[in-house]
């Protein structure tokens, strides 16, 4: 069963520049093949406010998505950036979606 992993991050609006600068560094880890490459979304219209970044990626199984989360927790480069970025968070959560392929 394929799944979509979404990590939703709401950050302090007043710290947008600093938050996005760190988000670009995460993206570089993805481009270098150190972390799974996902897409980032910023709401234009919807439930979430503009000071939200959503990272998402399709995985072929829930186990693969969970392995990616474990990598995020254990990779020292990711952890270093996350420790800098966490001061800007208002809230964050993880969502899993089953891909319905009829």
Residues 2, 59 contacting (CB under 8 angstroms): yes
For residue 102, pLDDT beyond 90: no
Strand spans (E) along 12-88: 39-41, 52-59
Best CA proximity match to 51, nearest among 2, 12, 95: 12
Write out the DSSP string of 17-33: HHHHHHHHHHHHHHHTT
The total domain count for the chain is 1
pLDDT tens-digit map of 20-72: 999 999 999 999 999 999 999 999 999 999 999 999 999 999 999 999 999 99
Please report the pLDDT score of residue 39 as a whole number: 98
| Single pTM value for the model | 0.92
Structure-block tokens of residue 93: 């959560």
Question: Looking at residue 60, which CATH number applies to its domain?
Answer: 3.30.70.100
Model confidence band, residue 84 (pLDDT cutoffs 50, 70, 90) = very high
CB atoms within 10 A of CB 33: 8
Domain that residue 7 falls in: 3-98
* pLDDT band per the 50, 70, 90 thresholds, residue 101: confident
């Amino acid at each position: 069963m394929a799944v979509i992993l979404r990590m939703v991050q709401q950050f302090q609006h007043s710290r947008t520049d600093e938050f996005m600068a760190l988000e670009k560094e995460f993206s570089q880890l993805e481009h270098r093949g150190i972390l799974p490459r996902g897409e980032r979304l910023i709401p234009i219209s919807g439930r979430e406010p503009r000071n939200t970044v959503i990272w998402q990626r399709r995985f072929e199984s829930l186990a693969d998505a969970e392995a990616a989360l474990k990598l995020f927790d254990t990779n020292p480069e990711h952890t270093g950036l996350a420790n800098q970025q966490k001061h800007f968070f208002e809230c964050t959560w993880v969502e899993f979606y089953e891909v319905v392929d009829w």
